[in-house]
Chains A and B, each alone.
Chain A
Amino acid sequence: AQSVTQLDSQVPVFEEAPVELRCNYSSSVSVYLFWYVQYPNQGLQLLLKYLSGSTLVKGINGFEAEFNKSQTSFHLRKPSVHISDTAEYFCAVSDRNYGGATNKLIFGTGTLLAVQP
């Protein structure tokens, strides 16, 4: 079965500094990967996705992520963060089960990005 690990529960960073949020997954089949962002008191919003093709994917608000199959990682990066980027970030992997009927996502535990002035 697929699983997602986000080792960092919280990442403090100063404004205008670069940031990387780590995500590792385990799967025996090919996967689709997603990053969602949750701003305070709001629902989850899709930030970016890897479906196929180029391993570097760009999303909204200047974020990008790189799919690394050999390291089973999908880390999220931004070269310069803003105060408004303060939010919880969730990595998710498709729960691909060729034998079953499912299009579920498996979510990580989330990483709180705390941007300080």
Chain B
Amino acid sequence: EPEVTQTPSHQVTQMGQEVILRCVPISNHLYFYWYRQILGQKVEFLVSFYNNEISEKSEIFDDQFSVERPDGSNFTLKIRSTKLEDSAMYFCASSEQSIGTGRNEQFFGPGTRLTVL
């Protein structure tokens, strides 16, 4: 069964450093997402991406964050200058286009645990 994959599984970085989290969505999906979950808190939406541009972003997704689909398979989240409060689990998800069925399930990857020291 196809699945979303994410690398690395765990990333440790120093405050102020740039990090890039990588995701490979399911191959025929057109919509891509990033969510994060700070330890012990809710899963929070960051951004959605379609047709090579951001379609929606939350208030969390400020100028320190960017997303890119550099090739036909990868989808990346970059944090330009990490802060301590960026420590969290970051989940990538993808979905196919729903046409009139109401079905728009998002498939999530296993996550990247980001630790900022």
Does A associate with B in a complex?
no
